[in-house]
Amino acid sequence: MKAWASVHDEYTFHISVLTLAEYDKGNHNLSRYIAARDALAERFGVRVFSVDDEIVRRRGRISGEVKRASGHAPPVIAALLAATAIEYDLYLVTRDVKDTKPTGVMVFSPWMDDARMFPLSPRTGRRP
């Protein structure tokens, strides 16, 4: 992951407010994790995506489609992250390929995938 990220301009990366929430999960009482989460939020600043009405509605559509196709809806957080990436025409960079791939989002896992298959535009960080 670090090798892949290091060759791209960090300012082309975004995170979701859900990423910060997941960071808190299970660690909310540990001050060093709170400080790390706050530093991450500050580092990304305006590049932290919120979950708005359109993303929530898209998540509903995605979940319904996946459930009809497979019999199982994807986990809520995975579907919200996928909906966010689709909304902004971005790759979703995650280890959670199993839950996110069925949503139709372009998933990239630097832990498993060949980075050459997922080029980013040097100017925007979006798919060319």
Query: What would the two tokens of residue 123 be?
Result: 């100017």
Copy the structure tokens of residue 116: 């050459």
pLDDT tens-digit map of 65-88: 999 999 999 999 999 999 999 999
- 45 occurs within a structural domain: no
Other CB atoms within 10 A of residue 67 CB? 13
pLDDT-based confidence at residue 55 (cuts at 50, 70, 90): very high
Decide if 76 is inside a domain.
Answer: yes
Of 114, 94, 116, 124, the residue nearest 106 (C-alpha): 94
CATH code for the domain of 104: 3.40.50.1010
Provide the number of structural domains found in the chain: 1
Give the CA angle between residues 33, 88, 71 to the nearest 5°: 80
Pull the structure tokens for residue 78: 């995975």
| Cα–Cα dist 25/85, whole Å | 22
> Where is pLDDT greater, at 95 or 79?
79
Whether residue 106 lies inside any domain: the answer is: yes
> Which structural domain range is residue 56 located in?
2-15+50-117
pLDDT interval class at 123 (50, 70, 90)? very low
Q: How far is residue 113's CA from residue 32's CA, in Å, rounded to a whole number?
A: 31
DSSP E strands in the chain: the ranges are 15-16, 48-49, 92-93, 107-108
Per-residue model confidence (pLDDT) at position 66: 97
Note the pLDDT of residue 3.
65
pTM of the full predicted structure?
0.81
- Quick one: pLDDT at residue 56? 98
Q: When comparing pLDDT for 47 and 126, which is higher?
A: 47
